Amino acid sequence: MKHPSWLLFLVPILILTPSSAASAQTPAGLDTARIEQLTGAKGALDAKAGVFKVSVPRKDLAVRVGGAKLNPRLGLTSWAAFQRAGERTMVMGDIVVLEAEVDPVMSAALDAGLEVTALHNHFLWDEPRVMFMHIGGHGPADELATAVGKVFRALEAARGRKAQTVDVDPARTALKTEEIAEILGARGELADGVYKVTIAKTTRMHGETVGAAMGVNTWAAFAGGEREALVDGDFAMYETEVQAVLKALRKAGISVVALHNHMIGEEPRVVFLHFWGIGPAADLARGLRSALDAQAAASTSK
């Protein structure tokens, strides 16, 4: 029996289409092969939880904690976990970084559209010192996987990076404090070779308003001279302000050295960011001012 010519084309389509779809999507609704391709990392599927997790063990590190030798399974593995969230996907992850790797890896995450949600230590007495950068995001799976891949590549490129140093002693401080105050839009106090500016923030705990006197404040402390100075301090931020401040500080070349909470149960929640910067004093002040402006803009747009 001779079949119509159009039927010869229909049969392969009916056979191949279902199998192609099945190979692309897992029961969790994630294209795991695509995620591995875009992140450049191998992963494992937890079918019950609907989560696909890619991992990058830090096999290059020789870390000891209190004399004990660590391997990647003792907490030295970077990872990112993907899960469907309605029509979109969310990602959460933890990136293992040495101190000198923090700046480029954080910038890569922020530039790629991810959120940095915490930066802190997991150990005491570790040599070399290891930090942990938590990331997150929500959007199309391909975009998130591409962003995570950029973070992993930035981590690879940053290996061997050296820390920046500066020769500053508060005993020799010679700052133009009026210029710093004018740039920041806030006046400070000079004592013991350190010029410190404090900007109040408020929240509520136990039915009471708490503010600067209880430690809810942004502050910046400068030491050094006009051409070579350092600044360190805290930003106190509501949750909606965090990403804007992070991006502004990194754009200004100021390092974020910690991102975490100081309290539990406050409303609204306050997140604290600790920073460190070196360079000309006026440039550092302008960098902080850009972060203050970004924080104000994020606060009014929420």
Residue 51 pLDDT level (bands cut at 50, 70, 90): very high
Q: What is the pLDDT of residue 195?
A: 98
Q: What is the pLDDT of residue 238?
A: 98
Residue 24 pLDDT level (bands cut at 50, 70, 90): low
CA–CA separation, 57 vs 39, rounded Å? Answer: 14
Determine the topology of domain 170-301 in CATH: Alpha-Beta Plaits (3.30.70)
Per-residue pLDDT tens digits for 231-282: 999 999 999 999 999 999 999 999 999 999 999 999 999 999 999 999 999 9
Q: Please provide the average confidence, as pLDDT, over all residues in the chain.
A: 92
Contact between 254 and 241 under an 8 Å Cβ cutoff? The reply is no
* Annotated domain spans of the chain: 22-158, 170-301
Residue 290 amino acid letter: S
Alpha helices in the chain (DSSP H): 5-24, 32-39, 102-111, 141-158, 177-184, 242-251, 281-301
Residues in a beta bridge with 209 = 204
Per-residue pLDDT tens digits for 69-88: 999 999 999 999 999 999 99
In this model, does residue 302 exceed pLDDT 80? Answer: no
CA–CA separation, 279 vs 299, rounded Å? Answer: 29
For the entire predicted model, the pTM comes to 0.89
